[in-house]
């Protein structure tokens, strides 16, 4: 056998073994990256730990939206819809009502609920990343359609009855949110709003009595 050829074959075999070992070591878990090797790209849409993904509920470093976040957002959105409805219903009552006390109450609804939306709820909604509703809820729109078909005393009685029921419901929701809210801004506007709504409820209850409108199940405003 040729001695030189045997030595050359042994040399190639050893070199191949060493190269295979080096590649295996480089691919082992936890092995340090070799100079010049490309880093793995960050998957699209992922964010680095500690970054803020957005401005909506739960958009804080390292947190996810909670039940409280969604509850506060829902309250603010519904309140804006309700305020919008009160303004539109008040404007309709100013045109259709034949009673001075009902018209004066309607004017107050337009003024107070318009300011509640513009000065209190819209700024907080913007901070929370909540879109401003474009129209009242389906329920409120149905109430408006019903009122538009009435006139005279029939209109007044229906409007008064609606206002008592709406303000009873709103007062409870605002008081509940004022107690439960963890967001200090939401807590503040819920508390302030409940005071305004309570005044409205007292007024419309007095008007209901003056017009002999039966509002069964009427809730005491001091409850």
Q: For the chain, what are the domain ranges? A: 67-210
Greater pLDDT, 9 or 199: 199
Per-residue pLDDT, averaged over 86-114, amounts to 97
Quote the pLDDT of residue 67.
Answer: 65
As a whole-number percent, the residues of the chain with pLDDT over 90 amount to 64
pLDDT at 10 over 50: no
**Could you say which of 1.10.3720.10, 3.40.1160.10, 1.20.1260.10, 3.90.1210.10 is the CATH number of the domain covering 67-210?**
1.20.1260.10
pLDDT at 217 over 90: no
Specify the pTM: 0.68
| pLDDT tens figures, 170-211 | 999 999 999 999 999 999 999 999 999 999 999 999 999 999
Quote the pLDDT of residue 46.
Answer: 33
Quote the pLDDT of residue 62.
Answer: 39
Greater pLDDT, 138 or 39: 138
Quote the pLDDT of residue 66.
Answer: 61
Joined together, the tokens standing for residue 187 give 């807590």
Quote the pLDDT of residue 36.
Answer: 38
Per-residue pLDDT, averaged over 90-104, amounts to 96
pLDDT at 128 over 80: yes
Quote the pLDDT of residue 69.
Answer: 81
Quote the pLDDT of residue 3.
Answer: 44
pLDDT at 215 over 80: yes
What does the mean pLDDT of the chain come to? 78
* Burial class of 132 by CB neighbour count within 10 A (0 to 12, 13 to 18, 19+): middle
| pLDDT tens figures, 11-59 | 445 545 544 554 444 444 444 444 333 333 333 333 323 333 334 444 4
């Amino acid at each position: 056998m040729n001695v030189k050829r045997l030595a050359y074959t042994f040399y190639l075999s050893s070199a191949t073994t060493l190269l295979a070992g080096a590649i295996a070591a480089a691919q082992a878990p936890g092995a340090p990256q070799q100079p010049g090797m490309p880093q793995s790209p960050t998957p699209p849409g992922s964010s680095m730990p500690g970054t803020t993904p957005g401005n909506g509920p739960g958009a804080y470093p390292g947190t996810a939206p909670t039940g409280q976040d969604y509850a506060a957002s829902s309250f603010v959105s519904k309140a804006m819809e309700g305020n919008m409805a009160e303004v539109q219903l008040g404007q309709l009552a100013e045109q259709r009502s034949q009673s001075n006390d009902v018209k004066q109450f309607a004017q107050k609804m337009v003024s107070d609920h318009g300011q509640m939306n513009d000065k209190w709820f819209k700024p907080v909604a913007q901070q929370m990343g909540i879109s401003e509703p474009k129209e009242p809820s389906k329920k409120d729109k149905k109430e408006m359609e019903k009122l538009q078909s009435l006139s005279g005393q029939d209109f007044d009685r229906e409007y008064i009855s609606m206002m008592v029921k709406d303000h009873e419901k709103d007062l409870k929701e605002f008081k509940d949110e004022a107690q439960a809210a963890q967001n200090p801004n939401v807590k503040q506007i819920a508390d302030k709003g409940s005071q305004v709504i309570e005044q409205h409820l007292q007024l419309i209850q007095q008007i209901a009595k003056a017009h002999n409108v039966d509002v069964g199940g009427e809730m005491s405003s001091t409850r």
